[in-house]
Structure 1
Amino acid sequence: MMGKISGSAALAMRILAFAALVASAASSQGRALQAMPPMMSMAPMMSMAPAPGMMAPMTFMQPALPYPYAATEPFIDARTNTIHFTKHLATYYTNLNTAASTNSSLAMMKLDALIPALNMGTPKVIRNNAGGIFNHLIFFKTLMMPTAMSNSTNNTMLPEDIAKAIDASFGNFTAFSKNMTDTALGVFGSGWAWLTYNPKTKALAVEPTANQDNPLSSSLGYSGNTPLVGIDVWEHAYYLKHQNVRAAYIKDWFMVVNWPQVSANYKAAMGGDLNSLITYASA
């Protein structure tokens, strides 16, 4: 009979078994995880693996929603906001933190650097969940309480700078809102419609992305523009209240856009400050 296996030897065996399981899973999908740029290498980092019985470190921390879940009623309902923020967004955080717990390069990255660096070789667990976090942080940060509006259409809530930029790029707010609406309606399946800022031309644009992709991810085939505000057209964003009527949801979304925050995002984008887009004030 062999003697008892030491604690360190047992840990090493578990690590090797886990590595073998990961390799087997990748093989069953017909390909291994593709290589990423050096700063995003997915090579297993054993120093980052949590000790037995301990939870993975929370590298990416979800902020608190800066307003009550019912704040956007009656246009976006409280139940949708609650499930959207505490279930869907929270799951993206859990999944990304799990990936970061075994990869030191990912664990050391910030979202504002990670999203522009995503490419076709990025493992889907990172691409989908990092994108989901970044996109949703912008989405929730750019909503507001309808009682704070100055009129029933929300159009006069636009600060002067973003109003002028919209007029210069689209002609007027009506043309912009139609462009944004048509783009959101045209997303097949799940995705987003974005108002973006082009740092080269200084102009605004409207563009769609699929799933949880973001316009910043130029290596995924997108523009590289900076998102200012976006409409989430995944069904989880509207199905409880609006069912399959996406057009009604989009109309209601326009009623609760926080245009002062969009203006702040516009200023941040002009200054190249991506982190400000997703930074929430302390509760």
Structure 2
Amino acid sequence: MLRTTEVELRQQLGVASNDKASLQNKLNEYRRKLSEVESHRKRVEQQLQEAVRDRTVLLKRIEVLENEKRRADIAINETSRQREAIEKSLNEMERENKDLYKSCDQLNTQIQELEIEHEARIRELAKQREEQDRALQRLRNEKTQVHRLLESSERSQINRIRQLESALAMTQSQLDAERRRGHQFMLSSPVGAGVVGSSLRSNVFSRIAPASDYDILRQRSFVRSSYGSASSIPFATTSPRTGYTADSSFLSSTRQTTSIGEGTSILTKDTDITDMSKDA
């Protein structure tokens, strides 16, 4: 009896499990359909919003077209009224004086000739306008090219000035350090003054002047014109020279040459370093 009941319960449990699985599958299917319906609803809402936006745009466009149509109708009506007034005046003039027909024919002939001349003049003016527009466009293009060249040259000059200022600051700091060591050596030994001066001069000259004649020849360059006929103007640079006085102050003019790529301008700048011992 118990076994029969257990078997029946197991059968019922299996049936219930199958029913549960079936219901779970149906539930999943309903959820999937619900998500699809929700996605479809969102798409429909988006399409509706787009349709509303399109409708608004079209309404604005229709309003603009209606305004243009009203303006065109007003212009047409005004032209029609003017035409009717002119025709009425002509009819009155014909009724009042039929003897002027010949004169009117002559005047009509003259009007036609004037219209032909006017059309020719309009074509000539249109041609002149096109030529002026082309010339103006050429001038604008040339102006743009000049602005670009000027901006490139200015940027190159600013970069070179910054490099020279950095080199000058570095040389200043090195000279200050050498000068301090020289003063300390001069205070400790009277014989050290001549040694300090010669060491300072050799150090500065080694940092500024080229080391050999080959370096001097390498500094020779040509300045190419960046605008116009692109003709080259030779501009030979000289080697740096350094002068010194008895109190270890110096005046040196170094000519720095910078080449900005092949076919571009070579900018040459002079940097004067004068009497830095006064700042120590």
User: Which interval holds the TM-score relative to the shorter structure?
Assistant: under 0.3
Structure number with the bigger relative contact order (C-alpha 8 A, sep ≥ 6) is 1
TM-score, structure 1 as length reference? 0.20
TM-score, structure 2 as length reference? 0.21
**Higher Cα radius of gyration:** 2
**The structure with more helix, counted as a fraction of residues:** 2
